[in-house]
């Protein structure tokens, strides 16, 4: 008899990917609304700039990352092999863009924006490492 392996993804990471996806999409919408003058004075321009950098640099990148994070989170719940690779790419881009945001904005942003960047970078790196350590479930 062949022994069947049961795949077991990390539900916490899957949920985080879905939440990250929704946050990226929301921030992209906020950025578009800001650019087109719909929410002109509601948010501080420094916050918009920091969020833009942390989420990929532009609303177009943020919305793409958001869609891919959302899709990969859902795919990870279904134990799809493609979702693993897609999640690794999303987490890597998130970590790198957050680190670059911290370096580029060190002089002019508030401390809490730095905390968001640090949290995003750590989440991206930790999630990527976790996926690397658990890839054997797709063998």
Decide if 128 is inside a domain. Answer: yes
Decide if 103 is inside a domain. Answer: yes
Structural domain of 58: 11-138
- Number of structural domains (the chain) is 1
Residues 11-22: tens digit of each pLDDT: 888 898 898 888
Decide if 27 is inside a domain. Answer: yes
Residues 54-110: tens digit of each pLDDT: 555 677 877 888 899 899 999 988 888 888 889 889 888 888 877 776 776 666 556
d(CA 61, CA 66): 8
Decide if 92 is inside a domain. Answer: yes
Decide if 4 is inside a domain. Answer: no
Decide if 123 is inside a domain. Answer: yes
Taking the model in full, what pTM does it have? 0.72
């Amino acid at each position: 008899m062949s022994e069947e392996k049961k795949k077991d993804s990390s539900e916490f990471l899957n949920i985080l990917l879905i939440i990250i996806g929704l946050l990226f999409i929301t921030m992209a919408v906020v950025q578009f609304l800001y650019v087109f003058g719909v929410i002109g004075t509601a948010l501080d321009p420094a916050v918009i700039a920091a969020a833009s950098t942390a989420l990929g640099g532009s609303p177009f990148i943020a919305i793409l990352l958001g869609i891919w994070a959302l899709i990969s989170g859902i795919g990870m719940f279904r134990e799809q092999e493609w979702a693993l690779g897609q999640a690794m790419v999303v987490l890597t881009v998130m970590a790198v863009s957050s680190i670059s945001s911290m370096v580029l904005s060190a002089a002019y942003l508030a401390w809490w924006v730095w905390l968001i960047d640090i949290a995003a970078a750590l989440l991206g790196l930790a999630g990527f490492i976790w996926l690397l350590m658990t890839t054997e479930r797709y063998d």
